[in-house]
């Protein structure tokens, strides 16, 4: 649950994957999965 909230916060502030790693070096999600979340958000907005 905490990881899901963290992800929502990162996306709320439009952090890139690299910026997330600066905040949380042990971030468990792969870059491709994180960027897929970004693409899905953009598709939902349109």
pLDDT of residue 2: 86
CA 39 from chain center: how many Å? 11
pTM metric for this prediction: 0.78
pLDDT in tens, 2-31: 888 999 999 999 999 999 999 999 999 999
Q: What tokens were used for 39?
A: 């693409």
> Which of 28 and 44 is assigned the larger pLDDT?
28
Rounded to 5°, the CA angle 20-46-16 comes to: 10
Residue holding tokens 């939902």?
44
pLDDT of residue 39: 67
């Amino acid at each position: 649950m905490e990881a899901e909230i963290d992800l929502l916060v990162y996306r709320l502030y439009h952090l890139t994957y690299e910026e997330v790693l600066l905040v949380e070096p042990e971030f468990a999600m792969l870059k491709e999965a994180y960027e897929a979340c970004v693409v899905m958000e953009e598709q939902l907005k349109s």
